Amino acid sequence: MHTPAYHTQLIIAASERLGRYLQALPRDAWDHLSACQGWTVRDVVGHLVWGAELYATTVTRGLHGASDPFDGLPPAGSVTGDSAAPLFDQLSLARGASLGEQLLPTFLSSSAHLSAVFAGVGPQGWNAVCYHPGGLAPAWAFVDFRLTELVMHGWDIRSRFEPTMSLPPESVPVFLSVLAAGIGWIFRPGPPPSAPVRYRFAMTDPVPSSLDIVVSGTQAQVEHDSMAQADVTLQCSAETWVFLMYGRLRLQEALAQGRITADGPTDLVTAFAQWFRGV
């Protein structure tokens, strides 16, 4: 069931669910801070509009053989998540501010348009090469990008008013896949370790799995089902790992709450929190 077509259906459902929630949200709630650091509900919705318009454009262009930058965006692969954040924030906030009272209607219409673009990609089109600032990517990857952004930012909004809000279980496998493939995008290099450091995450429900994050020099990579000896082993639920990697949960906070347990040198545990601070 983990196909672009199935994930498109999840996007449609998540878009409609968030749209209904926003339509019922009191006007003053739009100025409340969300769980996305420094952003109000209004800012988050503006970001989702900008993202929908960006993805609709890049996938449509990719299907027609164009994968070069557009609208003043940097060349593919020339930025990291950390270096691109200021530009993305500026563009998102500016797009939201420009819409004024049309923000919610535009969120609804841009979400519906992007879903229609995805739904119109035929079986032969999913591997079309499309532009992304982090590097060229196949069209199907943008379905997963959109699903994770939509679900996480929906959680950013709703969790401020519903503290027990969880991620939809069907979205968690997609988060795991996107994070594993994009680990270099969220890694923030600092002073390199004297030797490679291997962090093993043993995850439980809703997606029992295990993966290693290996930091070597100024790079990080993910390895699955490795038999190598881990320097630090951490145990948590798959949802907790997602929140950790997105920066919605701090490692020390999670350790103190018992949501994550760690076995390994304290200095290496602390180093992980410096290298991975969220997206």
Is 176 a domain residue? no
Look up residue 61 and give its amino acid.
R
Q: DSSP for 139-167, please give it.
A: HHHHHHHHHHHHHHHHHHHHTTT-TT---
- 160 and 212 belong to one structural domain: no
Is 175 a domain residue? no
Is 23 in contact with 46 (CB distance < 8 Å)?
no
Element (H, E) at 115: helix 103-119
Q: How many domains would you assign to the chain?
A: 2
Both structure tokens of 199: 């962090």
Model confidence at 279, in pLDDT bands (50, 70, 90)?
Answer: confident
What residues make up the domain containing 59?
4-165
- 49 and 105 belong to one structural domain: yes
Rg of the chain over all Cα atoms, to the nearest angstrom: 19
- Cα–Cα dist 59/138, whole Å: 9
Residue with tokens 């990517």: 137
Report the DSSP beta bridge partners of residue 236.
203
pLDDT digits (tens, 9 = 90+) for 128-182: 999 999 999 999 999 999 999 999 999 999 999 999 999 999 999 999 999 999 9
CATH no. for residue 228?
Answer: 3.30.1050.10
CB atoms within 10 A of CB 169: 12
Question: Does 92 score more than 70 pLDDT?
Answer: yes
Question: Does 2 score more than 90 pLDDT?
Answer: no
- CB environment 111-123: b (16+ within 10 A), e (fewer): beebbebbeebee
